[in-house]
Structure formats: C-alpha cells, structure tokens
Amino acid sequence: MKATTLFTALVLACGTAPALAQHQHGTASAGATATTDGEIRKIDPAKGTALIKHGDMKALGMGPMTMSFKFKDPKMAAGLKDGDKIRFTATMPGDDLIVTEVKKMP
Ligand SMILES: [Cu+2]
C-alpha cells in the first residue's frame, strides 16, 4: 500500500506542474505560433511594442496573462490604441514575443 500512496503523490505533484509553468516563456518549440484574442493595455508606436492582455497561447507555453509584445513591423502599431480589442498571432524566435499578425476587432 505504501507504493500506491507514493504513486498517488507523484501524480498529484505532476498535476500541479502546468499551473506553475504558466508564466514560463521557454517551452515553445522553434517556429511555433499561437493566435489568440487580446486587449491592448499600453501601446508604444515609436518602439513598436505593446503591453497586451492575452488569452491562452498553448503553443507558446502560456496561459492568459498581460505581457509585452513587439510588433514584427512597427507599422503594424499604426491605427491601434490603448483599450483596443484585437485578434493576433505571435511567435517566439528568441526571448521576445513577436506579433506577426494583428487584426482590430469591432
Ligand atoms: Cu506570456
């Protein structure tokens, strides 16, 4: 019975791992992209960056959170402003999250 108890403990330990891993940004495989809904919290058109509250991005190893993204082309930030609802695609070639496509939602 001791072995069963240990097994159960291991299963429980593994079961909690995904929740702890939610804010790690190192689990995406090369070339992975994720498309999700988001809301622009703070956009910086000059730098081509934006703080975005985003939904699930499982392919990039992330749950919903608010974080900073870089636009692939700073021109993509044109026409977007704080508070805008968007649908966007991002990839993570290195340490930075890069927005490759963005569409403003009505
Ligand atoms: Cu994130």
Could you tell me the distance, in angstroms and rounded to a whole number, from the CA of residue 56 to the centre of ligand 1? 9
pLDDT digits (tens, 9 = 90+) for 86-101: 999 999 988 889 999 9
Mean pLDDT of 20-33: 62
Characterise 30 by phi-psi region: left (phi > 0), alpha (psi -120 to 50), beta (else).
beta
Could you tell me the distance, in angstroms and rounded to a whole number, from the CA of residue 68 to the centre of ligand 1? 8
pLDDT digits (tens, 9 = 90+) for 49-63: 999 999 999 999 899
Query: Which residues make up the environment of ion ligand 1, defined by Cβ < 5 Å?
Result: 62, 65, 67
Residue 53's nearest CA partner among 33, 69, 73 is: 69
pLDDT the model gives residue 95: 81
In CATH terms, the fold of domain 2-104 is OB fold (Dihydrolipoamide Acetyltransferase, E2P) (2.40.50)
97: Cβ contacts below 8 Å, ≥ 6 apart: 25, 60, 67, 68, 69, 70, 90, 91
Are the beta carbons of 36 and 57 closer than 8 angstroms?
Answer: yes
